[in-house]
Structure 1
């Protein structure tokens, strides 16, 4: 099979149009200059009056060269597309590009409660992990929003972003570590002049997820144009969707052990069933053993009979509704504020200093699960809160029974992540004479992250409080108080809800708190110029030195330190590392206007890096671009890239998660209730990636306005750093991996603990093809243009090989990498109106490529197609330009594809927000003004 996947070059077609027929498409250029050129055609771009635009740096290279097209595929999202989409945040636009898969967003509550990353937008190219995608602001690093070093796109100055460059290829030689799958560079309009304002608000068709955003930017020159000042501010708020059970399509679907399965009857081991509930707990409490089994409790202790459905281990199909997953949050409530300022001044050609200041603040509230107990509480027969009528039914010798509850009086666990970013840059650039120029800068960034999970059960206090008895004066007290009268224990009534006072709730609950300060120091100096000439033109050369320091310091509350909470027992991370780097890049023209072709350029780069934690490592890039005729250009690049272990990989103190569930091949059944401990590993080494891509860009002269690019890519990572899931660790141990077996602790066959430590596993890889096409046509009607565009990504192979097993994940729609992702649009644009109708497609897939019908009878997951409509009405009033927009996402309110959780199905909703629209139809209206 030949792989096929998408990169995108819509903007390339605009560049061709600007060059071939500037008059016909002047309105496009007038609306936004950045959409009149693309990564491949930047140098050829012109303003609508035919004058040359200021040279723009291609993010795929550190070399500044007129007319140069880098061999690394690059997608440009320009200002016109950003405005047409009118996103609630920049990440929403980038994440719709098919080359991105598995990005973390506020709509993925699974990653938020314990991680402190709630409400963040972390970009993920290729689905190989956000830590392998380098996010830059004007070509410079940004301090991470968490110890993984991931940049939260929410903190970037969106009001000043003029375009977004997405480099879909290895770029470590140009930019250093983390650029394994590529670079997403947010490019600012540093010469913006005037005042612009934008406001928008939105809501879903269900009347929830209300959100709004206001932002503005101001820019002015001074001192006769030698100085320039820009500033921006953005404030936004999202109310969120706190329960998936609020949606009409939710039906409690889960993958569970097949109750009819035996090893000889031919039934599958797992089934995918609807209306699945838990058989060992009710919302207000359930007696799960003995004579009273099946007695449940409700508001104010009301008793009723619990109906058991078809039992399947701890689960049941049908019966009384007892579904913790229905409380899963679909969108995280989020409030954020960002400001940015930049001051530059041209003292002379050789010295042009600048200063940048960036501040961002985000508060994300992540409602999570209740403090659940699935039949694992032991209640003594003399419990003072047990109703007398039930106590009378106990049989002689029945001194205790088991009990399950969601503890509604304690409320849902509530994660709050508060992040504050500060970033300061001071630098200078200028000409050194001739073709040579330089840039130097120093940068300091700091992110203060305070993470709390409130309403957490304190395990020891809860165990004491639920064991309530009468004292000699017939007062209800904790049993422990009889022997320790000053222990402060407050009895807690588990037999229903609405029964406990605040004093009892305060005694058994607390807040797990992790406070961390992340710091990043960067120093960089580079020069570039043209040191020599070949028969085909000047050689361009760039070189530089860079220094970076990353460090984290943290503290955690004392109860977390001893694993005293029900979950989210934080451990502080403390550590640092230094990075020293030197790089060089060259572009050598080999052909120019010859009989063998119009151009042939060689691009090479090398970087030497020293890490204080792991020593030296080299990265490099070799690339060619060949244009035999003006209608077609071929490109190919081979690179060696790295991702060094980050602060989290090396120094994470640990997060403890209880009540884990796994399918255990040792006993051929499911195990639950054990603990998973995630921590760092200081012995990690940098992972090494070898990337290859080859492709072609077509801009046929006989079809003005049309462009098509096709690029094949192959990425192979050796010694890949990976923190495996609990299921992967257990499966890998069963397959014979001794390293992973050391991380699985058992008592007999019962799993008690699983340690999740990052490891340099054997290999990890990805192969596919990127496709991008665009066609811009003059429209005689209404004097505008019609734009047809299509982007697609096909993933042929995406595997992880730990040395004993190879897991092929391409097409597993339970994860992040389907076989196909695509979007296409039809747009019309003129001076008064802009309309874009977009379709987004995800191909069908499977839960797990390794599953056979003997494991799961129906292993398929359907694909989906969603449609969006963006409409912009433009107006002018004197010197003011403005527009009013109305956008509808998921126009036909298509329900999300049901993707049942394989791991911990009792906790997670049957959705996959990485691939599918889980919100439903949503509306946004707003305005823009520019003066």
Structure 2
């Protein structure tokens, strides 16, 4: 790939229970254990643990500061703005430690985070790679609860990062992975603490800003099929200066993933599709849909297939060779079951090739006692070049009998039958596969001041500016108007092959294109009929904020802690696109520039009030409340709030509860999308099918923020009779009102016909009342709900003087995930297909691991489980005979050995993902089955066994 040098169903649900039970079974008094303090007590310094011992990530029960040394200063946990030593926020939180990341040695941090059960439907380089025109291929956008990435707030050290998409989504690939000390995942509403977008929760990447020394990691990997090569190099340097008053850290990383460009490179590819049942008859016994393997297109072939007249079934191959198509069993006009492989889905990309570079620098200096000035610079540049399908034509290219490229023998047969033309279907191989080039360059500057105001009061203020420059293009796109002229090739009076249009307009520049076969066109012909769609966008984010924390007074139960402050933020997008896209003349990727901005001002406050300490049946109890008022330039004012409580009846048990009002404000794409146009849409209008409709999607500046009411309630157990063991259970219920939804073309018609007159304004009809055009625009219409619970259990203990075992299991169960669009309620939970909005919400997701460290040797064995599901909960046997999608479990193995060296030490590691090379569960596509592979990368492993090996050193 181009370098940066160029600028320009074997397991069942019992596994879920077994994984949790295993952690309990192993945590027995018969094992020599390391004493773990009860909840609320100080946590031992992890540095005191024996070298080479894998430390379990803090369970959901524990917050970030419990991983810090006992003598650490006050720190702010991600679930709260309050700075208070030993404070545990009532909001559930999972922490991924640096040791977790090191043991797994992922190619990028997001790969590990996305394996956590709380995340579902995240966009990754393995998901949605066929959406060539989105400009986001190769990105990692985190998605908590499957509520959509736009409802997950991603932070870096508690601060926002400029988006890597017009929706404002943060690409985790751009963050400085070499310096990450932990990742805090708050799985509850946090808008009162952090503002818009924290509806599902917050993922906060926390950096080690006091790192000292040098560390380096180099790794390389490959799949068991010899492809998807990965390489990674990252380094960090940190040093104090000026007698310890100053500190500087610098880090950089480079990663290169080759990707997998074809689905048929894997043995599991079987061409499975869900299509209309040709045997279906209304009132009959056959379902309306069937799921079949080896389904191929019936009205097109790679190099061209004649689909009408006396020549029907004739197809063309390499160099224009002529043959007969071997069909299977007909399944409507579009498909054939069996026969020879002619399937666009074979070209579905399993993983996008991505090249990424990041750089980070930070300097801090104590300008006076208790006052620190700091500055940060963040740079990230990503280049993804995924390929997708070809410029397909399914039996709709009209070829005249006098076409100059037509074989004379075929022409003779055509004329003898009295035919003057025929229809042809082709993948247009000579035009090439759609190839995206998505380049994103992020720069971010932060400057701030932290100070001790005295009397236990502290303050910090910062300002930041971030910009992401997008240069997105899709090449090998058919230019429709030119292609229509070029395929109509004839001979002029001199016997030369020209476009028919050139006979009457000699200067039109048309270059004839041969549709009969592959490898039959000149570069000039290809260059005329195909081109490159291009979009350039600049996203800018400006933030200024100040926060003050302190303890103004105390009650008999302890000090009351407060935090308050204000924030200003501005978001802006500006862009340009090419002229052909503006005219909607490309086969796909007709970009439109998006331009607009908004700003907002916020004020917030939070308080923690202790109400009990060291009482019978109340070892401790705290109340927590927060409120934030935000005024948007686009939609006015809105208030968010949170109330919560933690209660320890005894030292071994903690109860926690939160209730919050959260929001997601419309993003730049919701408000200002310039327009995306689709041609030839079909809808059912009052029982009549109407086609050839032009559908245009635009932004809506009249949108209001979404409102979410969130409830969480949980219990954390750390029994003193089982030292080293902790388990937590947390229930959540998120209800979203005025959810922003962009209805489909059919939904727009349905809304209008149901009496929604405002939506009727989006429909254009001709004089006969027939729909000719529909405008799609996001509206505050839907209601959504997500309800379920999380379980986490962990154990950490010694089994010998120089041996330690760690066990951890995390599980998420979805009770309800629904979408109410005003007409119907879609139950999405357990729909493991790729079609649900928000994408694929499995009923159960479980991640369990067992780690063993003996001297310098460490091994961690991990299992990842996804429960079975269905294609659509609304389906009955009358829709699809087999609606089930199987479950899956994958196992990973991570091993390492430590060594000592001059001035430091390091470790070699060797990891295997998908150890037993389990194939993904086949998930037959329903939406565009001719185009999509039978797989769901959001839930299942699509690549197969992968090996990674490397070394990391520190001195």
Equivalent residue for 1:113, pick from 132, 152, 161: 132
1:646 aligns with 2:670: no
Q: Deviations over 1:481-512 (max 9, x none)?
A: 11111000000010111111001000001100
1:399–1:743 distance in 2 versus 1, CA, 3 Å:
farther
After superposition, residues 430-449 of structure 1 pair within 5 angstroms as: 430-449=451-470
1:213 aligns with 2:235: no
Tell me the equivalent position of 1:322. 342
1:14–1:930 distance in 2 versus 1, CA, 3 Å:
farther
Tell me the equivalent position of 2:444. 423
Q: Deviations over 1:762-809 (max 9, x none)?
A: 3111100011011112111x6121111110000011111011210110
Distance 1:543 1:181 in 2: 23
Shift of 1:825: 1.0
1:357–1:481 distance in 2 versus 1, CA, 3 Å:
same
CA contact (8 A) 2:179 2:236 kept: yes
Shift of 1:80: 0.8
1:742–1:212 distance in 2 versus 1, CA, 3 Å:
farther
Shift of 1:641: 0.2
Tell me the equivalent position of 2:243. 224
1:834 aligns with 2:858: yes
Q: Deviations over 1:691-743 (max 9, x none)?
A: 00100010011100110110100000000012345676677678776666766
Q: Deviations over 1:880-902 (max 9, x none)?
A: 12001110000010000011111
- In the superposition, the TM-score normalised over structure 1's length comes to 0.95
Tell me the equivalent position of 1:656. 677
1:336 aligns with 2:356: yes
1:802 aligns with 2:821: yes
Distance 2:576 2:407 in 1: 45
1:752–1:376 distance in 2 versus 1, CA, 3 Å:
farther
Shift of 1:20: 8.8
1:43–1:868 distance in 2 versus 1, CA, 3 Å:
closer
Tell me the equivalent position of 2:568. 547
Tell me the equivalent position of 1:767. 787
Shift of 1:27: 2.5
Q: Deviations over 1:433-489 (max 9, x none)?
A: 111000010000000001100010000000000001111111111111111110000
Tell me the equivalent position of 2:915. 891
Tell me the equivalent position of 1:849. 873
Tell me the SS of whatever aligns to 1:518: strand
Distance 2:954 2:511 in 1: 62
Shift of 1:596: 4.0
Equivalent residue for 2:882, pick from 858, 861, 867: 858
Distance 1:557 1:785 in 2: 61
Gaps of 5+ in 1: none
1:789 aligns with 2:808: yes
Tell me the SS of whatever aligns to 2:124: coil
CA contact (8 A) 1:42 1:67 kept: no
CA contact (8 A) 1:41 1:67 kept: no
Shift of 1:759: 1.7
After superposition, residues 279-298 of structure 1 pair within 5 angstroms as: 279-298=298-317
Distance 1:641 1:417 in 2: 33
Tell me the SS of whatever aligns to 1:762: strand
CA contact (8 A) 2:648 2:655 kept: yes
Distance 1:28 1:859 in 2: 52
Tell me the equivalent position of 1:414. 435
1:927 aligns with 2:951: yes
Tell me the equivalent position of 1:910. 934
CA contact (8 A) 1:205 1:921 kept: yes
Shift of 1:308: 2.6
Tell me the equivalent position of 2:487. 466
Tell me the equivalent position of 1:816. 840
Q: Deviations over 1:140-192 (max 9, x none)?
A: 00000010000000000000000000000000000000000000000000000
Tell me the equivalent position of 2:99. 80
Shift of 1:752: 6.7
1:114–1:752 distance in 2 versus 1, CA, 3 Å:
farther
CA contact (8 A) 2:613 2:620 kept: yes
Shift of 1:751: 8.2
Tell me the equivalent position of 2:175. 156
CA contact (8 A) 1:15 1:41 kept: no
- Which segment is superposed worse, 769-778 or 195-204? 769-778
Distance 1:437 1:813 in 2: 49
1:659–1:208 distance in 2 versus 1, CA, 3 Å:
farther
1:379 aligns with 2:403: no
Distance 2:918 2:862 in 1: 14
1:125 aligns with 2:125: no
Shift of 1:112: 3.9
1:629–1:17 distance in 2 versus 1, CA, 3 Å:
closer
1:356 aligns with 2:409: no
After superposition, residues 546-585 of structure 1 pair within 5 angstroms as: 546-585=567-606
CA contact (8 A) 1:568 1:657 kept: no
Tell me the equivalent position of 2:291. 272
Tell me the equivalent position of 2:161. 142
Equivalent residue for 1:90, pick from 88, 94, 109: 109
1:235 aligns with 2:259: no
Distance 1:106 1:183 in 2: 22
Tell me the equivalent position of 1:391. 411
Distance 2:481 2:274 in 1: 33
Distance 1:866 1:17 in 2: 34
Shift of 1:376: 1.0
Equivalent residue for 1:301, pick from 315, 320, 340: 320
- Which segment is superposed worse, 677-686 or 474-483? 677-686
Tell me the SS of whatever aligns to 1:559: helix
Distance 1:494 1:410 in 2: 10
Tell me the SS of whatever aligns to 1:84: helix
Tell me the SS of whatever aligns to 2:526: helix
Distance 1:716 1:399 in 2: 62
CA contact (8 A) 1:723 1:759 kept: yes
Distance 2:589 2:490 in 1: 31
CA contact (8 A) 1:27 1:830 kept: no
Shift of 1:109: 3.5
CA contact (8 A) 1:666 1:749 kept: no
Shift of 1:31: 6.4
Q: Deviations over 1:334-385 (max 9, x none)?
A: 1010000000001123421000001110000010110010011111111111
Q: Deviations over 1:23-64 (max 9, x none)?
A: 9994368868995798735555564xxx62343321000001
- In the superposition, the TM-score normalised over structure 2's length comes to 0.92
Tell me the equivalent position of 1:368. 388
Tell me the SS of whatever aligns to 1:241: coil
Distance 1:402 1:150 in 2: 45
Tell me the equivalent position of 2:76. 57
Count of aligned pairs between the two proteins: 920
CA contact (8 A) 2:224 2:946 kept: yes
